[in-house]
Chains A and B, each alone.
Chain A
Amino acid sequence: MTILDQPPVTAASKIFNFPRNAWYVAAWDHEVTAKQPLARTIADVPLALWRNSDGRAVAMADACWHRLAPLSKGKLFGDEIQCPYHGLRYNSAGRCTSMPAQETINPSAIVPSYPVVERHRYVWVWVGDPDLADSGSVPDMHQMDSPDWAGDGETIYAPCNYQLVLDNLMDLTHEEFVHSSSIGQDELSEAEFEVSHDDTHVTVTRWMRDIDAPPFWLKNMRDKFPGFSGKVDRWQIIHFEAPSTICIDVGVAKAGTGAPEGDRSQGVNGFVMNTITPETARTSHYFWAFMRNYRLESQTITTQLRQGVHGVFGEDEEMLAAQQRAIDANPDHEFYSLNIDAGGMWVRRILDRMLQAEGLPAAAAAK
């Protein structure tokens, strides 16, 4: 039976499994240093992340070959990491280079090292089959390090299954209820939206015309157009790329100046960059940034936007944690879908097919 013959019956799994054959962000580039290893679990694999003397990022299993002591608690010596317990040293390929009290090195003494790509200000790792690790398949987040965009972001440690974060971002109707003081407004749940997809992407487009700008967007308009007041056309174009990257093209423009038709010159445009890395079935590393293409020179605006989004996403974090607790507390209850879940359901379909191709079930193993 081929993959396509199988009905996607498990698309509403509550604790969604995650593909292993994928690039996941393990860290911001500045978090991985040649001074001290960083411990982080990516897709159930505990890793020690560090840089060698060439500046190359290294991702190694965080367990010494000998007695599995965590290498992330060890020291770095140029191109080598030293186990904190008995001093075994490994090079960046994971091969042991030094063992205490013997003249040779056991040929089996190797710690798994994983493919790494550094791109878009992130360190991406591949914990699946290394034969399939094509660096060309790193998700497109080019706004992160393009000279045409400026901004910054943070990491949220989200105590929930990664799919809950994807659901959150694929439908922004929740802004009206969760973020009523900043970006929420009634028109969100009233506006029509369109969904399109291919094998690895899903796009959800929503336009709200001739509306009042909510506080967050009014501030942004005034940063570009001092003293602005009046109606705006607002857009949210959600771009999902498998397995877990969502870049949301957001903005507002003076109403009726042609933004829906393609002329955004009378508006402000941001990209909410999100990439969610499953840590375990019930925890996620949620890397986000807000990038803008106006007033690139202003570090003040960068800081204000980062703080603003920090506040907004803090509201999401609280909801996601509460949702995960409720899911776990109600194991006999199922998920049901609303019209607004169309985008999120296409994401599940794509993930489900990736999991099937790896021979993995859509539902993660029970806790």
Chain B
Amino acid sequence: MAVNTQTWWQQGRVVEADDLAEGVRRIVLSPDRPVHATPGTHVDLRLDLDGHVRTRSYSVLRSEDGGRRLTLGVQLAPSSRGGSRHMHGLEVGDVVEMTGPVQSFPLGVGADRYVLVAGGIGVTALVAMADSLRRRGADYTLVLAGRRRAVMAYLEELADTHGDRIRVFVDDEGVRLDVDALVGEIAGGPAPARTEMYMCGPIRLMDAIRRAWVAHELPEPNLRFETFGSSGAWAAEEFVVHLPQHDRSVAVTTDTSMLDALEDAGVDVMWDCRKGECGICQVKVLDVDGRIDHRDVFLSKKQKETNTSLCLCVTRAARGEPERSEPAAVTLHLP
């Protein structure tokens, strides 16, 4: 079957758009060159945000009719980089620039057990995986965690489809996901070393799971995750990048990334994945005024604590204390 790791562009027409849950829009795209999207794939969309062309990634929730209908689920994030606002404005008949399905979060074969963990809108990356595991007759559990029931997309449909394989945790109903208990259950359950976990959600949830996974001595390669660098320790806020080499400073607004802002300012920077995974856009940090919100998965915890480098594509700076009025600033040395 096609591996789909290549990025190529095409046009897609919006054929359906409606609300999935509070603040979550369902958008069905019909691409020019349909290719079936395997579970875990995403598409990148080229969006025109206030005169700047930006690329945003969205998981393919469902691929139907050989990829002729690709369903995305988009949460409106008030502090997002502007992509979700644009996506929520799409109407039936609109045409978007999109890639073919790109696979960087493939569902494996041959594990004895699978545990899928979705935090909030992260569910969009896992719906197709759960369907696939059900078709295979695999042993799997789908864990859904969210703040409020009303904002959790596909909750009822998933419950109907997956029955007692689904576990739902809703913060404001007092049923919070206990990460350590969940991972402890896997470690104490059947075939712990042959259990794979796939997670997608806020970085804090994923960090907590990763810590528990390591603490319970489960094999790290069995913990799979996908992150687009879109969530961090602080909400996105405006900050400033100082580049002493170039004798200039660049402002980074809430709806753009440091990488985009530098490129817009004509600074030549090297990058590849643009989602905090590969480390190609890593640069040296000379000084920080405020806090660095790394958001990447390339640097280790230890490296992040030393704050000597950062990944331009997803990392942001934050004031750290809300009462402070000056925006945060980072001083960087570019290669």
Contacts and interface: CB of A to CB of B under 8 A. Distances in A.
Interface stretch (B155-163, B259-267, B299-307, B319-327): B299-307
Contact of B1 (A97, A108, A129, A359): A129
A128 B1 contact: yes
B248 interface: no
A108 B105 contact: yes
A93 B300 CA distance: 24
Chain B interface secondary structure, helix, strand, loop or mixed? loop
B108 A104 contact: no
B106 A110 contact: yes
B1 A127 contact: yes
Interface residues of A, number: 30
B3 A107 contact: no
Contacts of B220: 97, 105
A102 B105 CA distance: 21
A96 B3 contact: no
A107 B221 contact: no
Interface stretch (B44-52, B174-182, B184-192, B271-279): B271-279
Contact of B297 (A94, A104, A116, A131): A104
Interface string B81-112: 00000000000000000000000111111110
A130 B109 contact: yes
A108 B299 contact: no
Contacts of A131: 132, 135-136
A289 B286 CA distance: 70
Contacts of A133: 109, 136
B335 interface: no
Given A103-B299, A104-B300, A133-B109, A95 B1 contact: no
B298 interface: yes
Given A115-B110, A127-B1, A93 B136 contact: no
Contacts of A96: 221
A131 B106 CA distance: 13
Interface in A93-132: 93-97, 102-108, 110, 112-116, 127-132
Nearest to A108: B104
A107 B224 contact: yes
A106 B219 CA distance: 16
Given A113-B108, A130-B136, A104 B3 contact: no
Contact of A93 (B111, B297, B299, B303): B111
B66 A114 contact: no
Contacts of A92: 110
Contacts of B298: 102, 104, 106
B135 A107 contact: no
A77 B303 CA distance: 29
A110 B3 CA distance: 11
A20 B38 CA distance: 15
Contacts of B277: 106-108
B227 A107 contact: yes
B154 interface: no
B293 interface: no
A91 interface: yes
Contacts of A305: none
Interface string A129-164: 111110000000000000000000000000000000
Contacts of A20: 1
Interface in B103-142: 104-111, 132, 135-136
Contacts of A237: none
A95 B222 contact: yes
A116 B108 CA distance: 13
Contacts of A129: 1
Contacts of A71: none
Interface in B211-267: 219-222, 224-227
Contacts of B224: 95, 107, 110
B278 A106 contact: yes
A95 B226 contact: no
Contacts of B108: 93-95, 110, 113
A170 B215 CA distance: 60
A97 B221 CA distance: 6
| Residue in B109, B221, B225, B302 with the greatest tally of chain A CB atoms within 10 Å | B221
A92 B222 CA distance: 11
Contacts of B279: 102
Nearest to A80: B221
B273 A104 contact: no
A108 B135 contact: no
B300 A107 contact: no
A163 B143 CA distance: 47
A92 B108 CA distance: 10
Nearest to A129: B1
B1 A103 contact: no
A41 to B, nearest CB: 14
B135 A112 contact: no
A318 B104 CA distance: 45
Contacts of A91: 219, 221
A108 B226 CA distance: 8
B109 A113 contact: yes
A254 B192 CA distance: 61
Interface of B: 1, 3, 66, 104-111, 132, 135-136, 196, 219-222, 224-227, 273, 277-279, 297-300, 302-303
8 tightest Cβ-Cβ pairs between the two chains A and B: A103-B300, A108-B104, A95-B221, A131-B135, A93-B108, A130-B109, A106-B277, A97-B221
23 contacts: A91-B221, A92-B110, A93-B110, A95-B221, A95-B224, A96-B221, A97-B220, A102-B298, A103-B300, A103-B302, A105-B221, A106-B277, A107-B224, A107-B297, A108-B104, A110-B104, A113-B110, A116-B110, A128-B1, A130-B107, A131-B132, A131-B136, A132-B135
